[in-house]
Amino acid sequence: MSTDQEPDRQAVPTPARPQKPGFLAGVREFGIVIIAALVLSALVRAFLVQAFYVPSESMQNTLLPNDRIVASKVTTHFGGVSRGEVVVFRDPGGWLQAPAPGPDGFRGLVHNALMFIGLLPSDSGNDLVKRVIGVAGDHIVCCDAQQRIVLNGVPLDESYIVQPTNQVTFDITVPADSVFVMGDNRGNSRDSRFHLEENSGGVPVDNVVGRAFVVVWPLKRFTTLPIPDIFGNPALQKSSAPAAQ
C-alpha cells in the first residue's frame, strides 16, 4: 500500500524592509552639503566675484553710500583694467583714514567668517571704488577751457560726473603697471588727483581687486555699470602705451 508524500517545503525568507536613514545620518549628510556650499562660496569669492559696500559719496550719482556692488575678479585677472571701468582697489597707502573698529568678540568672529566666505559684503575699510580714467602710458591733463579732462588729446564729455573736475590741475603720464582713477562726484573724491606726489597718482594694477559690474542692493537700484561710450573713442588709443609686462 502506497501513500502520497508531500514534497519538502523550503522556507522562503521574508524580504527585508528598507530601513529609513537614522537621524545622525541625515545630520551628517546635511552637514556635508553645508560645508560643500561654504567652500564653494569661499572659492567664488576668492577667484571669481566678490560683493562690497560702497563706503562714501565719492561715486555719486553712479553709486550711493551703502549700495552693495559685485566686482568681477576673473575679468580683471584675464582681461586687465580698461578705461572707464568702475573698479574696487586696495588702498595704495595713505588714501584712507583709519577705519572705524568693527564688531569684536564672538560677533566679530562670525562677521569676519561670513565676510570671508562671501555671505556678507566686504567692509574691511581698506577698499576704495573709483572710475578708471587712464591706463599705463596715457597722457591726462586737467583741464581745458570747458573744465574737461583731456585724455590723450581728446576732451572727455563726462555726463555722469557731479561738479567739475578742476579742484586740482595737473599734466601727467600714467606710470607703467598703474591706473589713474577719479570719483564721479569730483568735488567730493580724494582720488588720484590728490596723490600726484606718489607714482603720479597712479594706483598699481596689482591693487585692483576687480571691476564693479552691477549694483545688487537695494533692489530698487539694481543696475549694471557699463563703460561710458566716450571711452570707446578710437582716438584715445593713439597716444597710449601698453602696461609693462
Catalytic sites, residue numbers: 58, 130
CA 122, 134, 75, 63 dihedral sign is positive
Quickly tell me which residue has 585692483 as its cell.
208
Rg, C-alpha atoms of the chain: 29
Question: Is the backbone peptide bond immediately before 143 cis, with ω within 30 degrees of 0?
Answer: yes
Contact 150, 190 (CB under 8 A): no
> What ranges in the chain are assigned the alpha helix state H?
23-47, 73-79, 105-117
Classify residue 86 as exposed, middle or buried by CB count within 10 Å of its CB (0-12, 13-18, 19+). buried
Query: What whole-number distance in Å separates Cα of residue 190 and Cα of residue 181?
Result: 10
